[in-house]
Structure 1
Amino acid sequence: MATMKQVAERAGVSTTTVSHVINNTRVVSEDVRKRVLAIIAETRYIPSAVARSLKNDRTHTIGMMVPNNSNPYFAELIQGIEDAAFKVGYNIILCNAYDDPKKQAAYLRVLMEKRIDGLILVASGSDDELASLLGDLHVPMVVVDRELPGVEADFIEADHETGGYLATRHLLDMGHRDIACVSGPINLPPSRDRVVGYLRALKEAGLKFRLDYLVRSDFTSAGGFAAFSQLLALKKPPTAIFASNDLMAIGGICAASQAGVAVPRQLSVVGYDDIALASYSTPPLTTVAQPKYRMGQLITQVLIDRIMVGDVPLRREMLQSELKQRQSTAPL
């Protein structure tokens, strides 16, 4: 691979001139500019991003932290973020915390060393070390879905309470009254908000909440399988279950099949997120669709605006979700 010095020698100019052509930091004659650019193309010289960042104080790199990218929800959110970032010349460094706040803190140090221009954070929970590091970061930041106490940043979320309400309201409209909820971890705001929506719909329908109909798990298929198995083993099992994400719902449908319970004839199931797999489960999953791609694009737009403009009022945006009815729900 060619070096800047080799490019300069072939063009008959100094390395400083080559640097000015690459970084647009000084006026260079059109003839010299064309000659340098032609040799860069011919030798396939790749300028050092680190060196350029030292001159421009920009790396055109965004750091992104997600709890667990094995969840297809995050993969689809990331696609919207990457597409929007690519259009404006920004790259993404993705860090996967695997739902561990300590890993978040370790990866945050790595991103600080990479001199990122901005950070997108979907938190896996919080601890004192993480809060302290975020306070010292001093780069534009967008926090997604899970607000962190004491952290000043733009905040983008979906309306999870309304989503939980829509899911439960759909089951009520189908005639179900014994409706259970499989929730995500209690320490995550989206989990809590979806349960609040579930409870609001029950109260609105004049139904009493049953404690044994609320089971908490993690946002995985295995977690859904275990939670559904617990609910279906009750003396009076539910006729419908709202699962707080699609992975749990799909794992739960598998548990129902193993227990000899037919979906939707004997058990109606609603998921949450509308991941691509939801359309291809057996049966296709009724779910609350989050605007993942649109949310990803908005997150990037807000962050780039913050990087470019700087000191403007913090933004808070809430996007709405909608129910997608498929074949996993049926009238009682």
Structure 2
Amino acid sequence: MTKPTMRDVAKHANVSVATVSRVINLPHLTSDRAQLKVHQVIEELGYDTTQLLKPKAPKYHHKKILVIDNQLFSNSQINKGLESSAKAAGYKLLYLRFLYFTDYETQQIIHYTLNHKVDGIIFINDSPYLHELQKLITVLPPIVVLNYFSLDYSCLYFDHLTIAFKATEYLLQQGHNRIACLIPSREKQSNIYIQQGYTQALNRLGHSFNIDYFIEGCCTFESGRLAVKTLMKSRQPPTALICFDSTNLNYLDEDCFIEASSSQPSSEQSLLKGVLYQIKKLGLVIPGHLSIMHTTHLQQHEDFTEPLLTHIHKPLYKMGEEGFALLLTKLKSYSVANTSKLIPTELVIRHSVLDKTV
């Protein structure tokens, strides 16, 4: 089957070849009606507009950055760190947020970037089109990916294996050997690392992995509440529980998205509130009956927790700040070398874990 040409697009859209070319390369000179007709035909025929693109010249002075926000819950502390740094440096951020992915969407990103003359691109969280864009890296400005480890792009990320290991090891050191985990989704790469870190910590002290203590799909109030209810009704209920945050989820995690669309804006707090609600409903006391740990970007939860919770602090705001700084470095040096940077986390000990060794 022969590939469609620009002439084919013009014929099906009932416009001239020149109009098709202007819609693709100079959309600001065409009408909304022409753009709609041409783009509909391009998608129907599967016409590859990227063949018309030319390598990007290393000149960046437009003071505009495109942010592709793939987070399940946007307007996070990553966004706030980015926006604060951009404002201080005199840059404007242009946000794009896609709820569904098609092959044609990749081409839209490319042309949006070139037509709006953006200096760089920042991706928040992973997405299928990251792989597709790698094929077109020569026509794109510098790219930085946040909250996701990538071999193809410069990135800033958290080590979820170490986070899970650190949290589990701490609970084991406090004398707990029945430790449950609530994670957003086992399919995410970061959550695979969570399971590995959790398992490694257990195995190191002679404990085996128990699938009954590993509950997936927890990112909302209701899922947290039901998970605690199920766990505490089991024959051997856990003595400790770790809640992992949902900041790594993206818009393709439809199950969480559908449920969370009517829930609270912050998935992490919604889950934690559901857990705490069910613990109280069952008449349990923290940490006497059940010890609690969680991962969070917040420093404290005095507004709705008693006692204060032991947690692993993930500095999302810092990730946004340092992600923007990394992009500026790439713009100044036009460096083609990819840089990956691990954002360190911190174990913050509060009053929600019972020391069973004393």
| Same fold, TM-score > 0.5, yes or no | yes
**C-alpha displacement of 1:59:** 3.0
Q: Return the match for 1:272 from 268, 272, 295.
A: 295
What corresponds to 2:215 in structure 1?
215
In structure 2, relative to structure 1, the CA distance for the partners of 1:276 and 1:68 (3 Å cut) is: farther
Within the alignment, does 1:189 sit opposite 2:189 as a pair? yes
In structure 2, relative to structure 1, the CA distance for the partners of 1:279 and 1:203 (3 Å cut) is: farther
In structure 2, relative to structure 1, the CA distance for the partners of 1:261 and 1:293 (3 Å cut) is: same
Letter in 2 for 1:295: M
**C-alpha displacement of 1:253:** 1.6
Letter in 2 for 1:201: A
The aligned length equals 270
Within the alignment, does 1:310 sit opposite 2:334 as a pair? yes
Structure 2 distance, partners of 1:267, 1:96, is 40
Letter in 1 for 2:66: G
What are structure 2's unaligned runs of at least 5 residues? Answer: 1-58, 246-267
Q: Return the match for 1:289 from 313, 316, 323.
A: 313
What corresponds to 1:141 in structure 2?
143
TM-score w.r.t. the length of structure 1 is 0.72
What corresponds to 2:232 in structure 1?
232
Aligned 8 A contact 2:296 2:314 in 1: yes
Aligned 8 A contact 1:157 1:318 in 2: yes
What corresponds to 2:272 in structure 1?
249
**C-alpha displacement of 1:104:** 12
Aligned 8 A contact 2:70 2:123 in 1: no
TM-score w.r.t. the length of structure 2 is 0.67
Which of the two has higher C-alpha Rg?
1
> Helix, strand or coil for the counterpart of 1:282?
coil
Map 1:92-107; keep pairs closer than 5 Å.
92-97=93-98, 101=101, 105=105
Cα distance per residue 1:83-115 (max 9 Å; x no partner): 2222221122234456x5569948846853533
Structure 1 distance, partners of 2:292, 2:206, is 21
Cα distance per residue 1:271-309 (max 9 Å; x no partner): 112325634332222210012222222111111111222
Aligned 8 A contact 1:104 1:124 in 2: no
Over the residues paired in the alignment, what is the CA RMSD in angstroms?
A: 2.8
> Helix, strand or coil for the counterpart of 1:208?
coil
**C-alpha displacement of 1:69:** 6.4
Structure 2 distance, partners of 1:85, 1:66, is 16
What corresponds to 1:261 in structure 2?
284
Structure 2 distance, partners of 1:326, 1:96, is 37
> Helix, strand or coil for the counterpart of 1:241?
strand
In structure 2, relative to structure 1, the CA distance for the partners of 1:230 and 1:104 (3 Å cut) is: farther
* Structure number with higher relative contact order (C-alpha < 8 Å, ≥ 6 residues apart): 2
What corresponds to 2:16 in structure 1?
none
In structure 2, relative to structure 1, the CA distance for the partners of 1:104 and 1:223 (3 Å cut) is: farther
In structure 2, relative to structure 1, the CA distance for the partners of 1:124 and 1:317 (3 Å cut) is: closer
What corresponds to 1:162 in structure 2?
162
Letter in 2 for 1:77: I
**C-alpha displacement of 1:143:** 1.2
- Structure 1 range deviating more: 212-221 or 199-208: 212-221
Within the alignment, does 1:300 sit opposite 2:286 as a pair? no
**C-alpha displacement of 1:260:** 2.4
**C-alpha displacement of 1:323:** 0.8
Structure 1 distance, partners of 2:300, 2:228, is 19
What corresponds to 2:64 in structure 1?
61
In structure 2, relative to structure 1, the CA distance for the partners of 1:111 and 1:230 (3 Å cut) is: farther
> Helix, strand or coil for the counterpart of 2:76?
helix
Structure 2 distance, partners of 1:133, 1:153, is 10
Letter in 1 for 2:65: I
**C-alpha displacement of 1:125:** 4.0
Structure 2 distance, partners of 1:167, 1:80, is 26
